[in-house]
Structure formats: C-alpha cells, structure tokens
Amino acid sequence: MRLPLKYIKEDDVCAEIGVWHGDFSKQILEIGKPSELHLIDPWETQDFRDRWYSVNQKTMDKIFNKVINTFSSESKVVIHRNYSRKVDFSENYFDWIYIDANHSYKEVLKDLHYYLPLVKSGGFICGDDYGWKDKYCSDGPKRAVDEFTEECSLEVKISGTQYIISI
C-alpha cells in the first residue's frame, strides 16, 4: 500500500490527478473510503516517445472508456476528462489530493500552487515519483515539491518515491 493512502480519513473528499487506467483510484476507494473521489485526467495523447504511457489517441480513448466502465456504478466517483488546472472547485473543497500527472518541474509546481487553496486546513497534497527524471525533464517533482514546501512553509514527508505535504 502506498503511504499517502494512510492519510485519507473515511468520508474525505479526494482527487487523483493523473489517473491512467484507474488502478490507484480503486485503492483510494477501497482503502480510503472517501465520500467523493474526483478523477482528473485528459486521457489525451502526449508526444513523449519512450514513455510507457505515450500511446495513440485511439488507445487513450479505450483506456478512458475502461475507466468509465470500471467506476460507472460508483456514485462517489466523478470523472473529469480534462487537464489538471482546467477543472473548477471552490476553495477548501478537498481533504486529500494525489498528483501523478505531468512530471516536469514546471507543471508539478503549477499543479501544487493551483491545488493549495483547494485543500482544507489539515488536509494533504500527496504525489508520486519524487526524484523521478528522464530525458524529457531533468528537474521533475522533487525540485517542484522542495521549492513549493519551502516557499509556502509547509511540512513534507518523503517515503520512497511518494511525498505527503501537510496543509
């Protein structure tokens, strides 16, 4: 089990940003038991050759339809087929957010700043692939998380590749 799941309390309002096939989404539902789970992903082809998720749009559409079918009977799940910062929520809406979308430094930093006001005091912004790099981004989540938490005077806990930011 990924450590960030331990920070979800039953009936929390949660979001997963970067859903892919929805495997982690299932764990969030089963382990965390949130009252709402917002799944946010554009399911749109992105040209990053050599990355495992760089697939054509037809395949992305099939993945999206699989996610729709997987969660169709889950009234707690709301699926947003959009980019992370093109969805609208009110301030202090979420208790827990998990970011696993675009891994570039710039995009992770933008996501962190966008979602900070949307998380309630006492909530958490978590994410994956802390320390991750590839030929497309030499500075990824680690630099963004480190700068963000220092700038905003927030506590961060690192567990392997996972980060948990206390709000």
> pLDDT category, 160, cuts 50, 70, 90?
very high
What are the tens digits of pLDDT across the range 42-90?
A: 998 876 555 456 678 899 999 999 999 999 999 999 999 999 999 999 9
Average pLDDT, the chain: 92
pLDDT of residue 16: 98
Task: Report the SS3 class of residue 134.
Answer: strand
- Reported for 49-55, long-range contacts at CB under 8 A and 24+ positions apart, including other chains, are 50/134, 50/135, 51/134, 51/136, 53/20
Q: What are the DSSP E strand ranges found in the chain? A: 13-17, 36-41, 77-81, 94-99, 119-127, 155-159, 162-166
The C-alpha atoms of residue 87 and residue 81 are separated, in whole angstroms, by: 9
Check residues 39 and 135 and name the one with the higher pLDDT.
39
Token pair 């963004």 is found at: 144
pLDDT above 80: residue 137: no
What are the tens digits of pLDDT across the range 77-108?
A: 999 999 999 999 999 999 999 999 988 889 99
Instruction: Find the mean pLDDT for residues 145-151.
Output: 98
pLDDT above 70: residue 161: yes
Q: Which domains does the chain have, with CATH numbers?
A: 10-166 (3.40.50.150)
Task: Report the SS3 class of residue 88.
Answer: coil
Q: Which two tokens stand for residue 109?
A: 């930093």
